[in-house]
Structure 1
Amino acid sequence: MHKIINAGTTLNGFLKLITLICIFCILPAIPVNAQDDTTKTAYPTADTLFHDVKSVPNAYVADKVWLDGVNRSLLPSGRFGEIEQQLAAIKQNFASLKTATAQTDLSKEYVEALSEYLRLWTRQKSGMDSWNTDVSGIVTTLSAQQAGLKKKIEVWRLTDSVAVANSAPASILQKIRSLKYELVETSGKLTSGIDRLLKSQNQLVEDYVQTELMLSQVKDYFLLSKRELFVQNSSTLWDFFASSAQSRSFFTSFVNIGSVYLTATGTFFTGGTGFLLVIVVYFLLLAGVIIAMSRFFKRITPDDPLLQRSGMPFNFPFTTLVFIFLFSLNIVISDVPEIFLTVIHLLMIFPIILIFRQISDRRYHRTIHIVGAFLVLQKLKLVSGSGSDAERILLTIITAFSIGVLLWVQLNREVAARVDLFHRYVKLLFRTLTVLMAIAFIANLFGYLMVSITIVNGVLNSINGIAVLTILQRFILGSILLFLNTDTAKFSLIVRDHYDLMSKKIAGFISVLVKILAVSVVLRSFGMFVVTWEFLESLLGAEINVGDLSLKVETIIVFFFSVWIAVKLAQFIRFILEKDILIRMDLDRGVPATISAVTFYLISGFGIIFAVVSSGLDMNRFSLLAGALGVGIGFGLQDIVKNFISGIILIFERPIHIGDAVQVDELSGVVRRIGIRSSVIKTWEGAEVIVPNGNLISNRLINWTFSDKQKRIDIPVGVAYGTRPEKVVGLLKACAAAHENVLETPPPNVFMKDLADSSIVFELRCWTADFDSAVIIRSDLMIAIEKTLSENGIEIPFPQRDINIKQVTEIKNGAE
């Protein structure tokens, strides 16, 4: 049935909305008087002078519970025992570290060794600081408990005297005196514990001072050993190779730095082997997960191209397992010897090479092997010791061979074709790498080692980091897509009906994130991250002055970014509500759209408020702007405000719903979207018309599908004079009843409508529940009617006219 809606019908709904808003605004301001007759506790406080005989049982229970808590804190398994165990471990670590440092000549050590000692002494100082903080906190707590005990002892002493004077029962006196004895005993334990902790702190003072001195000494040696960038740090390359002792010192440097790493490793494992056990358990768990994912990937045989590409690492689970295990160790473990991390980085190169062999074309395999060899040499250079002969030799080998390989690839047309070198971006990349390696080789040639090392480490670390990010991108995306293919995920209607959309959105998000991380990796590899970050901070801190108004660039960016995040979050939640949650609920038509729209605008509104607050905008500066905006609303923005309020009315009153067939003035079609300012109506011809919400509220609106989708079909039929009307009525009703989409209730009806000039006009009226197919049903009925009337010999006349032609004698040359 259709419904005609005028502007007056919306008044009641609008007034209801205004009333609700006023109620919600006024309610918080109404004072609510709390009850004053609250029940007071029957337990006396520590400030009570004494307990009367009646309150002794309750007070005894309360103080007994409190006293048990105090005693538990003094047990060896409690905090007091843990503190003493930590102190013993700290002192033992200090002694062993002090002995190892005393046996080392710090003035002759490499930067790597000094960095390791710096890490160990920093960790030692951090442990002492943490222990002192914990001890001070416990001493403070125990002192407060001691003060409370003294008050309670005095209270129970006076209670004992009062109970004796009042001839209290023996059971009461026994409770009072037993608790008083326990309080006195615990007070002595507290005093002893505080004294022991203070004495332990005094014992650690001397070790702490020595730790600070050793840390300062190691830091000084470390800073002295660091080399400046644009300074000649060593002799020229020809002088270096001219020395006769190079062959011996090359291996000697490896032996010396190796001994330092072994000492650091032994110190690290002193105190337990639980670290290795945790690593083994973690490896086994990770192996089970990746093997299960690999089997699931092979079982589902995905036809999704995106899943096929991203899931390729699951075709070789062992290699992927080793890579993920080493990468996660590099991220998770902290405060370990530097050699651990270097070895992890070195071992990661081999699974990277194997994975890239599997996911890339065969023509790139030789290039992958060459790059992998350079990465291995670079990691060996890092562990050879800064300033050592081994470092210089490995640096020379890397730069010389890399220049040779890059030139060979670019000059050999066959090889260049294999690696797509004729693509302009690839060609630019190879030329850039060639120039950088040439600069590194020349810098090494003339003794500017830090320039050469910075370039080599920057290039190779960037390649390594981007390779790691590429593999992680495929692994993470493949894991997510595999989960979306599980039965658990497919329970969600969003996953089941919008899998392609979700997979593309997730892939796009991960791709953007990987690109940002890749830029960060390149900047860090060349040592430019800090400089770039400081530049961005200065740029964000710049102020833009517009008259008296001053805004920071950071404030503007934070504001718009927060608004963007809020809108995207609102869209995502609205998508979930519409496509998964609300569709499962038995709600009236139009209610899901209202809920999703209100949720969207509420989240967006709170997001804008949060953006204003988080950006730190001073709203007092916008008072003039707000006044101008008010004038603008009063004069120039009337239509916008009108449409905005009309949109709110449409959302809450719901005179139309998405999918309704409506007619506004001369415009008719289907409602596709209801917005806060305007709505979209798609006409029967396919055009999408944006209609301001004010027109839908103020103009005459016909909603053909407001309560249901039933539509009446009217078909006029003319028959020749002389035809029996009863027969025509029966035939027309039979045609309507024979159609499957014509409703039986209300039944089809036929009326004689007119006695026209050439025919008797009947009209068939029937109903259908399928509004969208009404035109097709009408066409089917007309075809059936024509066929039925023809078969029964009933003529459908058409207007006839007699034309009389008169012959007129043609007069030639009439003018003559």
Structure 2
Amino acid sequence: MYKAFIYLLSILFLVIAGPMARAQNNAKTDSAKKTPTSKRERERRSMRSRDEMMRALNQSDTSINGLLQRIEQYTITFNQINNNLSDGLDTADISGQIPSVTRRLNRMDSLAKTHKSSTLRYLFVLRDNLDRTQTKLEGWQSDLEDINARLVQNQKDLIRFFKDTSLRNVPNDSLLRHTYFKQVKSIRSLWRRTDSVNRKSLLQVNLLQDKIAVAYNRILDQTDQIDAKIRRFAMKAIDGESDYIWNTGLQTADFKEAFNSTVKLNRILFSYFNKNEQLTNMAGILFFALVLGWVIFSRQKTIRNSENPKLVFERAYFIQNQPVIASLLVATAIVPYFYNQPPVVCLESIFLVAIIISLFLVWKRHPQTFGFLSPLFWITLVYGFSNLFIQISNIDRYVILLLSMVCIGLGLSFLKKLKSLPDGHLPYTGLVLRIFVGMHILSFLLNVSGRFSLAKIVGVTAVFNLWQLVIFYLVIQIVLQCLYLSFQTRKDSNSIINWMDFDLVQKKFTSVLATIAGLLWLFTLCQNLNIDDWASDNISDLLNQSRTVNGASFTFGGFVIFIAVIWLSSVTSRIISYFYDVSARRVTDLSVLKKKNRTSALVIRLAVFSAGFLLAVAASGFPLEKLTIIISAFGIGIGFGLQTIVNNLVSGLILAFEKPIQIGDIIEVGGQSGTMKEIGIRSSKLLTSDGSEVIIPNGDLISQHVVNWTLSNSNRRIDLAVAAAYGVDINKVKDLLKATLTNRDDIMTTPAPSVYLNAVSEHSVDFKLFFWADDINNTSELKSRVLADIYTVLGENGVELPSSCQDVNVRFPDGVPGASSSNKETPGSDLATKGTKK
């Protein structure tokens, strides 16, 4: 019974499930038919699934990837440090020279404590050596500081790796864990090697820095000691270092010792100088080569291109006859200033060459002055050798006394010759000789009174600086002669030199060269008087010391820089104005483009001056907030009393940018007419036809009606009135006048000339002529030529001009009054008279 029931239920399930399955299959088929993109959807689902899996994997490996990247970055850094350290530090030269510097300091310390150091020259020699050594140590300190900074940065990178706790993380994946541990082991090994090498290098550099610091402190101590001795020596020299000269006798022993010590020390200094100043020596040779090349180039260019070289070379004597010697003189006069604290023996060696050359050139060009300089040359040799002495000797004192007497006599005798023959000498010879004699009189008195060191300083300064004046004078002449040759040779029309006026350039350049030479001469004077260091220190303290006024701090050096930059900007502005002014005078084409270029000089000047002002403020260190206060106060002043000035300044800017008026325009304003010569910042200059210059404020050029004849072009219409006698053939005269105006090169064809009948009167027939000139500056000359041609043409064709004379017939019915009986005419006769029409 139970089994039968089960069979019945199975049969019922099959009966019911079959149709349902077929219905479901039919539904799927219909769904496939309705959604043909089901495969694409499945692919998209698969792609999304893969992307989610990849993102999950990446998120799971992010930490380990970051660690591996960090390890790789550390590896690159450590390898770079090792490469830099393997090249070696730039300390081998410093390490090798420190022992010699130490020995030199020990030697100078012992020399400074001997009795020889009581002489001024010896003290200056020791201090010069200390200064040069100090400069070298400062350079070493700077180099080692750079090396130490790099090593310290390396050590910071190494310490950062040691403190990086993120590298202690352990990945979960066994395969990644093995790779990670291998990388960490390798980087730690590399870190230990790099850290060891860097620490050793850092220790080595620190030891060198300590040695240099010790040597540097010793130099400062010795310098202070020598400076104190120099001050004591100066006080002693002023008070009198020895007895009167007649209380001392000759002693050959001390002179022999002083001579031997001087030769030995100066030989060592000269050798040391040549060894350590090779680069500067090469720079001096290169400078001489450049000067020689310039001189020879100017000379050859003049010979090749000048139409009359002989006439040109009359003003370039040194370049024509002595080009090599002249170039050598320029080099020997300038090269000594290339060196930093050179020994006196080196300076005097170069100075001796310059003296010999200048003496030769003076002999060729100024024979009168040569008569004084030739004996002075031998005196200079003795003074120069005496100046090298490092010990005081009585023989040296008597020699200086004798040289002072000889120089006094030589100077007075040449002054007497100068009064009798004032021509053929160098400029200011009389003034220089008087100063020269006065200084030697002072040297003589100081020597007699026991102040020998001061006497030698004054005597050496008088002789050396006189020669320095001669040398600088000749150098300026040589440079000016080279410039003259550059201006006189045939030049291209577009060359910038062609725009310049040599007379003006010579005047300005001579003043600049004289100023530079004067400053160098003053520097040499301070060196010869041995006050250059004192002057430098005091001037530096004066300029750099900070001062406070009402809470604002400033220095005099800042003011000097401010004034210097403003001066340079004004000089640059004037140079630009000069070139534009020269181009305005040399170029006669008044095209619109050229006038705009010339007028743009105002904009350039304003830009240069504004940039110079901002640079001056920045360079001087002036606080900008204070500058804002000053500008605000200046604005209040403008509001009260400077309206006119500001109006003119703003009008100048409008003229510069809007350009209604250009340089070279012919204008009429305020009853004045002429050519615009200059447009300045506040006012402009108008050159009238009579040669006068009218200063017009820029505000008037903006506010008033201005007639500009050449705004767009320089064309000008000319009107002429021509009258012919009454009764002429009008058409014939018109044709003659029209023919006179056509087919001329000086009259424009477009617009074409025209002739009109203007008026007809009882005495004349008036014609009006209109034609155009292409240049307004030639209107008067063109009008004159046209009138002359018209007069000639009308005369040749029989056209009469109206006359101011006419015939007057007077009828007297009773005869001419007052006539004699013999001449009495019949009544009613006519008297024909000719009178002038009033």
Please tell me whether residue 292 in structure 1 is matched to residue 293 in structure 2: yes
Deviations 1:228-262 (A, max 9, x none): 23323223323323x5xx24443332123223334
Q: CA deviation at 1:752?
A: 2.6
Specify which of 500, 511, 514 is matched with residue 511 of structure 1: 514
CA distance in 1 between counterparts of 2:562 and 2:209 reads 50
Q: CA deviation at 1:511?
A: 2.1
Q: CA deviation at 1:379?
A: 0.7
Give the equivalent residue in structure 2 for 1:718.
Answer: 723
Q: CA deviation at 1:598?
A: 1.4
Change (3 A) 1:434 1:673: closer
Q: CA deviation at 1:681?
A: 3.2
CA distance in 1 between counterparts of 2:297 and 2:122 reads 47
Deviations 1:657-686 (A, max 9, x none): 233333346443333333344433334444
Q: CA deviation at 1:720?
A: 4.3
SS of residue paired to 1:712: strand
CA distance in 1 between counterparts of 2:569 and 2:129 reads 45
Change (3 A) 1:307 1:169: farther
Moved more, 770-779 or 282-291: 282-291
Deviations 1:324-383 (A, max 9, x none): 554455323335544333444445432332233234x21222211122122111111112
AA aligned opposite 1:632 = F
Change (3 A) 1:515 1:124: closer
Asked if the contact 1:121/1:211 (under 8 Å) is kept, the reply is yes
Q: CA deviation at 1:398?
A: 0.6
SS of residue paired to 1:706: coil
AA aligned opposite 2:378 = A
After TM superposition, list the pairs within 5 Å mapping 1:352-367 onto structure 2.
352-359=358-365, 361-367=366-372
Please tell me whether residue 162 in structure 1 is matched to residue 171 in structure 2: yes
Please tell me whether residue 600 in structure 1 is matched to residue 605 in structure 2: yes
Give the equivalent residue in structure 2 for 1:703.
Answer: 708
Q: CA deviation at 1:388?
A: 1.9
Give the equivalent residue in structure 2 for 1:748.
Answer: 753
Please tell me whether residue 350 in structure 1 is matched to residue 353 in structure 2: no
Change (3 A) 1:664 1:55: same
Give the equivalent residue in structure 1 for 2:336.
Answer: 330
Give the equivalent residue in structure 2 for 1:182.
Answer: 190
Please tell me whether residue 462 in structure 1 is matched to residue 465 in structure 2: yes
After TM superposition, list the pairs within 5 Å mapping 1:609-620 onto structure 2.
614=620
Please tell me whether residue 785 in structure 1 is matched to residue 790 in structure 2: yes
Q: CA deviation at 1:89?
A: 1.6
Tell me the TM-score normalized by structure 1: 0.76
Give the equivalent residue in structure 1 for 2:77.
Answer: 66
**Unmatched 5+ stretches in structure 1:** 1-49, 543-548, 811-816
SS of residue paired to 1:162: coil
Give the equivalent residue in structure 2 for 1:151.
Answer: 160
Whichever of the two has the greater Rg, that structure is 2
Asked if the contact 2:362/2:369 (under 8 Å) is kept, the reply is no
CA distance in 1 between counterparts of 2:79 and 2:490 reads 53
Give the equivalent residue in structure 1 for 2:569.
Answer: 566
Give the equivalent residue in structure 2 for 1:86.
Answer: 94
Asked if the contact 1:314/1:320 (under 8 Å) is kept, the reply is no
CA distance in 1 between counterparts of 2:563 and 2:516 reads 19
AA aligned opposite 2:199 = T
AA aligned opposite 1:183 = W
Change (3 A) 1:714 1:218: closer
Tell me the TM-score normalized by structure 2: 0.74
Moved more, 392-401 or 738-747: 738-747
Moved more, 619-628 or 695-704: 619-628
CA distance in 1 between counterparts of 2:779 and 2:78 reads 85
Change (3 A) 1:594 1:332: closer
Q: CA deviation at 1:509?
A: 1.7
Change (3 A) 1:735 1:619: same
Give the equivalent residue in structure 1 for 2:400.
Answer: 395
Moved more, 279-288 or 551-560: 551-560
SS of residue paired to 1:230: helix
Deviations 1:466-488 (A, max 9, x none): 23322332344445556667899
Q: CA deviation at 1:395?
A: 0.7
Q: CA deviation at 1:294?
A: 4.3
Asked if the contact 1:570/1:604 (under 8 Å) is kept, the reply is yes
CA distance in 2 between counterparts of 1:767 and 1:585 reads 17
Change (3 A) 1:619 1:403: same
Q: CA deviation at 1:54?
A: 4.1
CA distance in 2 between counterparts of 1:573 and 1:225 reads 54
Deviations 1:258-285 (A, max 9, x none): 233345556x37xxx8558657755764
Change (3 A) 1:131 1:534: closer
AA aligned opposite 1:438 = I
Give the equivalent residue in structure 2 for 1:9.
Answer: none
Q: CA deviation at 1:109?
A: 4.9
Change (3 A) 1:148 1:369: same
AA aligned opposite 1:295 = I
CA distance in 2 between counterparts of 1:377 and 1:304 reads 42
CA distance in 1 between counterparts of 2:209 and 2:419 reads 70
Q: CA deviation at 1:693?
A: 3.8
Please tell me whether residue 734 in structure 1 is matched to residue 739 in structure 2: yes
Asked if the contact 1:156/1:180 (under 8 Å) is kept, the reply is no
AA aligned opposite 2:357 = P
Q: Superposition RMSD on alpha carbons, in Å?
A: 4.9
Change (3 A) 1:175 1:615: closer
Moved more, 136-145 or 424-433: 424-433
Please tell me whether residue 236 in structure 1 is matched to residue 244 in structure 2: yes
Q: CA deviation at 1:782?
A: 2.8
CA distance in 2 between counterparts of 1:685 and 1:585 reads 21
SS of residue paired to 1:73: helix
Moved more, 367-376 or 681-690: 681-690
Give the equivalent residue in structure 1 for 2:445.
Answer: 442
Moved more, 772-781 or 526-535: 526-535
Deviations 1:190-247 (A, max 9, x none): 1232334445556677767776776666666666666623323223323323x5xx24
Give the equivalent residue in structure 2 for 1:27.
Answer: none
Q: CA deviation at 1:596?
A: 1.4
Give the equivalent residue in structure 1 for 2:808.
Answer: 802
Give the equivalent residue in structure 2 for 1:107.
Answer: 115
Change (3 A) 1:356 1:196: same
Asked if the contact 2:738/2:755 (under 8 Å) is kept, the reply is yes
Moved more, 714-723 or 389-398: 714-723
Specify which of 761, 764, 774 is matched with residue 766 of structure 2: 761
CA distance in 2 between counterparts of 1:568 and 1:560 reads 12
Give the equivalent residue in structure 2 for 1:668.
Answer: 673
After TM superposition, list the pairs within 5 Å mapping 1:119-268 onto structure 2.
119-121=128-130, 123-124=132-133, 127-128=136-137, 131=140, 134-135=143-144, 138-152=147-161, 155=164, 158=167, 161-162=170-171, 165=174, 167=176, 177-200=185-208, 228-241=236-249, 243=250, 246-264=251-269, 268=272
CA distance in 2 between counterparts of 1:409 and 1:694 reads 63
Change (3 A) 1:390 1:350: farther
AA aligned opposite 1:116 = V
CA distance in 2 between counterparts of 1:145 and 1:693 reads 66
Q: Which one scores higher on RCO, CA 8 angstroms, separation ≥ 6?
A: 1
Q: CA deviation at 1:86?
A: 0.8
Change (3 A) 1:308 1:566: farther
